[in-house]
Homo-oligomer: A and B are copies of this chain.
Amino acid sequence: MNSNDVFRPFMEPNGVAIVGARRSPGFGYSIPVSLIRQGWKDHIYLVNPVGGELHGLPVHKTLTEVPDYVDLAVVIVPAPAVPGVMEEIGMRGIKNVILETAGFSETGEKGRELQDSVRDIALKYRIRIIGPNCVGVINTENKFSTVEVLEKALTKGPLSIVAQSGMFGAGIMDYIYQRNLFVSKAVTLGNRLDINECDTLEYLHKDEATRVILMYLEGASNGRRLLNILDRVTRDKPVLILKSGKTDVGRKATASHTGSLSGEDNLYDASFKQFGVVRAETVEELITMSLVFSSQPEPEGGRIGIITSSGSMGVMAADTAVTAGLEMPMPSESTVKRIREKAPGWMNVKNPLDVGPSNLFGEAIEAMLEDPAIDMVLPILIIPITVLEMFRKQGITIEKWFGDIKAIRARAPRKPLVICAMGNSQFVSEMRSFLGTDVPVITSPEPAAKALGAYWEYHRIKTGREKAIRN
């Protein structure tokens, strides 16, 4: 069975039993509510020995009472009740389970024994399991989500998420949409009794809607297999990894969180570098990189053009860009000429280009994007909020001042363009709603430059490996 066959019932189920649906607050209440809201009412079946009715649906006392075809069970009962429920699931012929319940191997020896007994039942009935100790899956394509997230967070996007931790996988769904970062699939793995990050990577590798993969990993379930799969996936799609457990303390904390061992960190690092796996150092960096990788074309070279009205921010970005492996050449003669024609006398056309208080941003962005000597462009937009407010009164929009960056992007679509917008959150949100998903908006210069450096490194390694194969 290939990975798409394995994942289909989890991501595109026909009938879903929710075992442990209940009236009191918690997942047993919120999962049915949100699935109904997302249009899944006719495909879900609530199960709880108390029976009765909930959310306008009958509550079946046992799984055997569920009248229709069910190919997925979402289990939210307390840990000690799980083996019994698993037997019922097996008897009912359901082959796929999202086991959200916590209290297994992450809690110590007794939990591990309980988890083993669940594994034995799963093996007996050939049941595939995601979890335990997870929050399941999100699929924005069909709005199937075992996590309650905001409607807006279910907008389709190019990024897919694999996370061991439920809080991590679902937690970032609460705010990445506010930065115009949207998701196709998310899978939270928990203790990985059965399905693990390797299976998920294989699935996302084949999944057409997934263009970039974000992974939060505490430790590999099978290091050799993971590297093997990463070797293949990275030839086609970028994989961005945040791996915790860099220190002994972190590793110890990890063991008691999802019961996994995080292994020797530097062993991973070497292989990651070889395959062009992008390793983020912080949650914020992971999100910034995801935004850049999933919205921009791959850079064909490592020459960055920086445009700014703040010399100091230009310098900070230049420092970071160079440290991240990028070059900062002078723009071409023709670009210099083109900008100089419109520029006030004081403006020194170079790289980083400080346009000062002029409104030459748009002109400079387009010229740099069209310059054969430049491979990617990072404009750093800063405007005092008081000036922005004055402009608003005078009817001067942000696209009038900074150029119609959306239109420029459409005319010159082939190079990465990342906007750094610094200042009051009001300015940042205006810029985000203006640019939508076309151009990412990052709020400080260094992470933007670092993400562009990482993107070039990914592309360089990928094409290097392609050439090695052809030769």
Contact = CB atoms under 8 A, between A and B. Distances in A.
Contacts of A379: none
B167 A282 contact: no
Nearest to A422: B171
Contacts of A346: 102-103, 107
Interface residues of A, number: 80
Contact of A310 (B168, B321, B328): B168
A256 interface: yes
Contacts of A108: 348
Q: How many copies does the complex hold?
A: 2
A158 interface: no
A427 B171 CA distance: 12
Interface in A272-299: 281-284
Contacts of A106: 311
A318 B249 contact: yes
A411 interface: no
Contacts of A323: 246-247
Interface in A237-262: 242, 244-250, 253-254, 256-258
A350 interface: yes
Nearest to A78: B346
A183 to B, nearest CB: 15
Given A170-B384, A350-B256, A165 B312 contact: yes
A199 interface: no
A244 B175 contact: no
A167 B352 contact: no
A335 interface: no
A30 interface: yes
B423 A171 contact: yes
A150 interface: yes
A105 B283 CA distance: 41
Contact of A386 (B149, B357, B385): B149
Nearest to A425: B178
A331 interface: no
A148 B357 CA distance: 15
Interface string A171-197: 100110010000000000000000000
A103 B356 CA distance: 11
Given A107-B348, A164-B312, A168-B310, 17 more contacts: A25-B390, A102-B356, A108-B348, A165-B310, A167-B312, A244-B315, A247-B318, A247-B319, A247-B322, A247-B323, A250-B315, A253-B315, A257-B315, A283-B313, A283-B316, A283-B445, A284-B444
30 contacts: A30-B386, A148-B386, A148-B387, A150-B385, A150-B386, A150-B424, A165-B310, A165-B311, A165-B312, A170-B384, A171-B382, A171-B384, A174-B423, A178-B424, A244-B315, A245-B315, A247-B318, A249-B318, A249-B321, A250-B322, A253-B352, A254-B315, A256-B350, A257-B314, A257-B315, A257-B354, A258-B311, A281-B446, A282-B444, A283-B444
Of all A-B residue pairs in the complex, the 5 with the closest CB atoms, nearest first, are A257-B311, A165-B312, A167-B310, A250-B319, A247-B322
